[in-house]
Structure 1
Amino acid sequence: MDKIQHALKKTKASALPESLNYPPTPVIFNTQESNFEKNFLRFLKSTPVYFIHDNYVEQLTELFFLQNPQYKEDHSESQKPLKIFLDSNRDEYGQYSYTGTWIYYPWNQIIMHILDERSYFDLRTHRNRFLITPHEQKKLYEATLGIAGLSVGNSVALTLAYTGVAKTMKLADPDVFALSNLNRVRVPAYYIGAKKVYVAAQQIYEINPYADLILYPEGLTQNNLRDFLVGKPQLDLVVDEMDNLKMKIFIRLAARSVRLPVVMATDNSDNGIVDVDRFDIDPHGGPFGGLPAIDLETVIKGINFGEPLDLTMEEKIRLSSQIVGPSGVATRMQDSLKEVGKTIASWPQLGISAFLGGVNTAYVVKGILLGQSIASGKKHISLDEIFLDDYRSNKSQKIRSQKTKKFVEYIQTLNSKDIPQVWTVKERDFPKKGSLDDKIRFLIKYAILAPSTHNTQPWKFTMRKNQLILNLDNTRALPNSDPKKREAYLSIGAALENTLIAASYFGLNTDVKFIKNTKDEISIQIRCSEKRSNYYNSLFSEIVKRFTDRSLFRKRIIPKKIVIGLNKLNIDPHLSLNFIQKGSMKNELAALLGNASIESMKNILFRKELAHWIRNNFTKQRDGFSIGLPDIQSLIAPFLMHEVNLERRSKKSREHIMVENSPAVIIISTQADTKENWIKAGQLYERVALYMSKNGLRHSIHAAIIEHQKSHQQLRTKLGIKYYPQVFIRIGYGKGPIQYTPRRDDSEVFNI
């Protein structure tokens, strides 16, 4: 029998003090209220009291000397006026029990007798006088602040409370204290497991029992962000010390919408960083400069939009270092961050920097509330630079520069994404000694590397004896951007082309039939036999290298030799291929595409569908695509696409600019506008893409000019053709690193 546990249970004590399990609120008894005596006596009879602290006379005495600075405490001449003052404050019984205020703190069962609120405040802030003027102190006390995140935020809140800033605070944090928090937050060890928001409230009430605190123990969520910011009383300023990176972005978007400044402190070894966003002065500046106005309700609606953010520790380091700026990270912090996940389990922080962050942030908050000239921006507060005599020496600067260079290189390794495993398929894994069906099944690994609109991968494969059947997966259709499924069939055609090229390379002959089913959809039957052929075998190696590049290309002329080879790729008389490199025609087509893109973006259903497939840069999903934004902005890219027409104020759309700055475009057209021809156009498109890859070029496809009926007709007119344009490709030489889009595994698209 565990005697210790048995004895502990007999004490009937709770695992945590009961007060830590619910919002702490002091009970206030104002002696001037009519029912004071009755209520207070009843309370004393029914409530456990551990300790009574009544030094009311000492408080009155200190108040007298505050109000009468001409008297000295130790001079005899002050005794008579002091006595008169004390006597004037006695109650009808000649005591002080019926004057001032009685406070009961339920979390420690202490009763205190204190001065009324005005006198308590004057006395408590007396030593602030003219460091903060009385007018300024009143203004600061009447402010309402919101503090989200209560580790460093705890230091901020307490520093502000000590300074007499913000009687009213809204505090939010969903977490509880762990033992590892005790290196940087002023709480006793027996508060481990207590909610941070409740502990902070207790601490503030113990400084100012008259404080008005509104608590959000669930943290900030989609359900309470509106109340936190603009619910009565409305905030004057937001302090953000949250760990939730996505919410850090959304609280800024929300604050921007209602013109609230946001201040944030960041630990940096022994030093600190303060970020200030003065949305109250310039709602169009800061981290969202260039974005159109987004109202609060729209922002709130977007909080849970898109995929959940599930970051690894390395990804958190990568993202956080971008917020700080890798070159601004202190060298000791650089060393610590490199050890996270190796010898350190979580984020490195020091008590010195946490308390420094509290002081720095409180200073900025005070300055903003008092109308001082504090601008938006990032400020580094370096104690190292202030106190270390050799900080500026050539030797120290050289060491820091070398370490920072290595740290930036380390961060870049975190930024470089691993190639998704499906792209690393090896030809040596081809089952040479396997059955024909085994060999056919292996071809799917190459088929799925084909491009598709929004990377929807709208294909599914089934096997029959010696046959591979390729069908459209209608669950991945795009009813708003591709109502006729033209783009889906182009994607199917690209997957078919990869299959045929891979089959030929591995010594298989193929016979392809298009079969129309009862739903007027095309099913592709690929019959294979072990008979060597040569169907674009030279392009096989490019299947695992080809990728779509949505960035700007270099303005480098494409050699004539490549253009000649390009024209040889089309062997179907029912298809045409137009290569356009001349500036005037290309620029006209760029403008036409731009107008089509702008028109498409006006359609909320189109944007909603597009947003569904946009992924952030940390996605774990195996479909969809990133739109090339920096990591931080990528977290809200789906929301922005869904809720905001980003092209609304643009003179030129992004697609217009991309084509205008590309050396050439290619248009693939078909004689008839049918599903069979869409598939064949998709085959030629993939052949072109592989050929471009083989010659060191990149490409991207642009569908708006084809899908938009008016621009489609204008395109035919400009080209002077009777064929139907189906694929609009821009090509050029890339600038940045290769970025492979994810793919579903072949097992996910294959049914036996």
Structure 2
Amino acid sequence: MEKNATAKESALLQALSDPGHVYKPLFFRIYNDDDKQLFLKLQETVKDLVIYDQILSQLREYVKICYLTKLKPGDDLQPFVNELLGNRRQEEYGVWVYYPWSKRLVHLLDEEEFVALRTSRNTYKITPEERELLRSKKIGVIGLSVGQSIAITLAMERVCGALHLADFDTIELSNMNRLNVGVQDIGLNKAVLAARRIAELDPFLEVLCFEEGITAQNLDAFFLENGKIDILVEECDGIDVKISSRLKARELGVPVVMDTNDRGMLDIERFDLEPDRAIFHGSIDEGMNTEKLKGLTNEEKIIILGKIFDLSKISDRMKRSLGEMNKTINAWPQLASSVVLGGAMVTDTCRRILLSEIHSSGRYYIDFNDLIN
């Protein structure tokens, strides 16, 4: 969120001139004169601007949670709405949020009321005190194919207040068997797309994208920019990044969570509690030169991944798939059902780690073939 009118005006000009890589919405509180002028400028400048104003519906819903003990069935809500409005006109209440990539301008409750209402049906599965604690947490996600479902579920449940997203890759048609994207998104960076989805769900979540993926040059920034991340979720394809990110996580005392979307396998590595713990549960040589691991062939990857994941424990269908690599298929097979399950498992695990309900490292399986047959 911009801190002053000059910064906000610059952000608006950038969004108007080059929206292609923009993933952060713009906020206008039009009871403020500077914001009101920019708000009017936006409406004058943007052709085909689409305006959504459902603030009264939000206020009525907010009244129901705010005045719960005062309301009786059938009560007129408008007096309570008027109390919330005070001396402010309805159009000036809350905040207007502009999404440059879709040219949508949306009238919303401002942050505190928005968060309280949007998460109200989490209570008491997540208590109000826990909600406030989670708002202070930051999670980093590397790899926004499998990681897209995870990032969006983390945001939906509001398990954190900020996210770092890293992926250099762009949306392709073949990704659409498992990613929640549209054909109009082909060619868009995966991290940017996930950030946009999150902004449309909750514009007050802070998101920072690393569109170049994880590199030696930005690894520190991914972990530390604007404060250290509290959990790393690693879902990338590159073995070099899998290793280098874990070594950095261990150095900084950051726990790592990973879903493999086969047999519901979930990995937890508590480097925050076990600073000397071997990465990948000690299954590989940590001294490997990560630079030499870049650009491996699928056959070379399988050798190392076999040590990391224990190929004897993967599903029969995945074993068959690996045997067909570069023969009848050219990429790792992944199913939407497994990816969505991973989003649920990782979100639940991250929440419980952040709330100090999980203290152990380990490898776990939620295999539907074992559970339901």
Report the TM-score when normalising by structure 2: 0.89
Alignment of 1:219 with 2:213, yes or no, is yes
Cα distance change on mapping 1:32 and 1:234 into 2, 3 Å: farther
Q: 2:278 aligns with which of 257, 263, 286?
A: 286
Cα separation, 2, equivalents of 1:303 and 1:116: 50
User: What does residue 47 of structure 1 align with?
Assistant: 46
Distance 1:214 1:345, change over 3 A: same
Contact 1:144-1:169 at 8 Å conserved across structures: yes
Shift of 1:136: 0.9
Give the aligned partner of residue 356 of structure 1. Answer: 341
In 1: Cα distance, 2:106 partner to 2:209 partner: 24
- Cα deviations by residue, 1:224-256 (Å, 9 ceiling, x for unpaired): 111111222211111101111011101111110
| Relative contact order, higher structure (CA 8 A, sep 6+) | 2
Instruction: Report sequence identity in percent.
Output: 34
Q: Which one has a bigger Cα radius of gyration?
A: 1
Alpha-carbon offset, residue 46 of structure 1? 1.9
Partner residue in 2 for 1:107:
101
Q: Secondary structure at the match of 1:35?
A: helix
Residue deviations 1:32-66 (CA, integer Å, cap 9, x gap): 53523222222222223431110100000000111
What residue number does 1:253 align with?
247
Counterpart CA distance in 1 for 2:267 and 2:58 is 40
Aligned mates of 1:248, 1:110 — CA distance in 2: 38
1:22-421 matches, within 5 Å, as 22-70=21-69, 75-76=73-74, 78-79=75-76, 82-90=77-85, 92=87, 95-268=89-262, 271-287=263-279, 307=292, 309-388=294-373
Whole-Å separation in 2 of the counterparts to 1:336 and 1:147: 26
Tell me the equivalent position of 2:7: none
SS in 2 for 1:310: coil
User: CA offset at residue 69 of structure 1?
Assistant: 2.7
Q: Compared with structure 1, are the counterparts of its residues 304 and 85 closer, same or farther at alpha carbon in structure 2 (3 Å cutoff)?
A: farther
- Give per-residue Cα distances to partners, 1:477-504, cap 9 Å, x unaligned: xxxxxxxxxxxxxxxxxxxxxxxxxxxx
**Separation of aligned partners in 2, 1:289 and 1:333:** 22
Distance of 1:321 and 1:123 partners within structure 2: 46
Number of aligned residue pairs: 354
Q: Secondary structure at the match of 2:260?
A: strand
Aligned pair in 2 of structure 1 residues 51, 338: CA closer, same or farther (>3 Å)? same
Larger deviation, residues 151-160 vs 328-337: 328-337
Instruction: Report the Cα distance in structure 2 between the residues aligned to 1:255 and 1:162, rounded to whole angstroms.
Output: 25
1:89 and 1:42, CA in 2 relative to 1: closer, same or farther beyond 3 A?
farther
| Structure 2 SS opposite 1:97 | helix
Write the distance in 1 (CA, Å) between the matches of 2:313 and 2:360: 19
- Conserved? CA contact 1:63–1:119, under 8 Å: yes
Q: Report if aligned partners of 1:264, 1:274 keep a CA contact under 8 Å in 2.
A: yes
Q: Tell me the distance in 1 between the aligned counterparts of 2:364 and 2:276.
A: 20
Q: Which runs of 5+ in 1 are unaligned?
A: 1-17, 291-298, 389-752
Indicate if the aligned counterparts of 1:266 and 1:273 stay in contact, CA closer than 8 A: yes
Conservation of the 8 A alpha-carbon contact between 1:173 and 1:197: yes
Does the CA-based 8 Å contact 2:20-2:101 persist in structure 1?
A: no
Please report how far the alpha carbon of residue 274 of structure 1 lies from its aligned counterpart in structure 2 after TM superposition: 0.9
Shift of 1:139: 1.2
TM, length-normalised to structure 1 = 0.45
Following TM superposition, by how much is the alpha carbon of 1:151 offset from its aligned partner in structure 2, in angstroms?
0.5
Give the Cα separation in 2 of the matches to 1:288 and 1:25.
Answer: 35
Measured against aligned partners, the alpha-carbon deviations of 1:496-544 in whole angstroms (never above 9, x if no partner) come to: xxxxxxxxxxxxxxxxxxxxxxxxxxxxxxxxxxxxxxxxxxxxxxxxx
Cα distance in 2 for partners of 1:218, 1:178 equals 17
Post-superposition offset of 1:182: 0.4
What is the CA-CA distance between 1:87 and the residue it aligns to?
1.5
Instruction: Measure, in 1, the Cα distance between the counterparts of 2:222 and 2:141.
Output: 10
Counterpart residue identity of residue 275, structure 2:
P
Long gaps (5+) in structure 2: 1-16
CA distance in 2, matches of 1:91, 1:113: 18
In structure 2, distance between residues paired with 1:220 and 1:32: 41
| 1:329 partner amino acid | I
Write out per-residue CA displacement over residues 547-568 of structure 1, whole angstroms, 9 at most, x where no aligned residue.
Answer: xxxxxxxxxxxxxxxxxxxxxx
- Cα gap change, 1:314/1:232 in structure 2, threshold over 3 Å: closer, same or farther? same
Q: Is the 8 A contact 2:280 2:308 kept in 1?
A: no
In the TM superposition, what whole-angstrom CA distance separates every residue of 1:578-613 from its partner, at most 9, and x where no partner exists? xxxxxxxxxxxxxxxxxxxxxxxxxxxxxxxxxxxx
Distance 1:120 1:368 in 2: 25
Aligned to 2:10: none
Q: Does the CA-based 8 Å contact 2:250-2:271 persist in structure 1?
A: yes
> What is the alpha-carbon distance in structure 1 between the residues aligned to residue 366 and residue 19 of structure 2?
35
